């Protein structure tokens, strides 16, 4: 299975490893990167993390559509700044058709953007296939199966699942069987985070992918 040139990285929850997985993909694929919605600017942005740890050219880093100060769900952070997040304000960056683009979501797929729309609606609107990042440990089966169910209910293409954390063969087998989605990679904690280590991680963890 070849990775598509457009990849939306989402997760089963917040702080699940989406940015590290996005960094691995960006470094390994020499991809462009776009974070449509960023909250919590004072804590450092995910775009800044990608910039520091992948060393991709600035021309491959695309500006957020919404950048909000407070480290809250997008809908809540937007209210505090008297901002309304509108679905039609998002536009996929103009990236050459043969270049890879990694798009990173905020939180999980049911995080609200406003009073009507969720991250799930943004994914569907952009029409980009999803790579779902899941924890490898206890609790992941329920969270991952629910996320896969919602994605399929909305007709969103699923590339596969990346398990983040210590390898867990039992959980992997359960997700493959019940989730009926391929486990594309298992990424354990990286000792160092730099362009070389992220690229090596890509080669090791996604080595079965034809890119």
- Known catalytic residues are 35
Instruction: State how far the Cα of 162 lies from the Cα of 42, in Å rounded to an integer.
Output: 28
| DSSP label at residue 163 | E
Instruction: State how far the Cα of 35 lies from the Cα of 190, in Å rounded to an integer.
Output: 22
Centre a 10 Å sphere on the Cβ of residue 98 and count the other Cβ atoms it contains. 6
Q: Annotate 71-95 with DSSP letters as a single string.
A: SS-HHHHHHHTT----GGG------
**Contacting residues for 166 by C-beta, under 8 A, at least 6 apart:** 136, 137, 188, 189
Instruction: State how far the Cα of 171 lies from the Cα of 52, in Å rounded to an integer.
Output: 33
Q: What are the DSSP E strand ranges found in 56-157? A: 61-62, 66-68, 101-108, 130-135
Q: Which helix (H) or strand (E) holds 192?
A: none
Cβ atoms of residues 122 and 1 within 8 Å: no
């Amino acid at each position: 299975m070849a990775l598509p040139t457009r990849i939306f990285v989402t997760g089963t929850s917040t702080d699940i490893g989406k940015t590290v997985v996005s960094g691995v993909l960006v470094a390994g694929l020499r991809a462009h990167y776009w974070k449509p919605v960023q909250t919590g600017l004072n804590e450092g942005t995910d775009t800044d993390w990608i910039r520091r740890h992948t060393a991709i050219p600035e021309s491959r880093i695309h500006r957020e559509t919404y950048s909000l100060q407070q480290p809250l769900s997008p809908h809540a952070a937007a209210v505090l700044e008297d901002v309304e997040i509108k679905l039609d304000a998002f536009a996929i960056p103009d990236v050459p058709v043969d270049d890879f683009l990694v798009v990173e979501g905020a939180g999980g797929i049911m995080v609200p953007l406003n009073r009507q729309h969720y991250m799930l609606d943004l994914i569907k609107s952009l029409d980009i296939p999803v790579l779902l990042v899941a924890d490898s440990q206890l609790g992941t089966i329920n969270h991952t199966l629910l996320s896969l169910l919602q994605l399929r209910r909305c007709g969103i293409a699923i590339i596969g699942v990346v398990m983040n954390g210590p390898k867990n063969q039992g959980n992997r087998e359960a997700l493959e069987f019940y989730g009926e989605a391929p486990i594309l990679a298992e990424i354990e904690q990286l000792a160092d985070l730099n362009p070389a280590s992220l690229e090596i991680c890509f080669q090791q963890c996604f080595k079965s992918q034809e890119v």
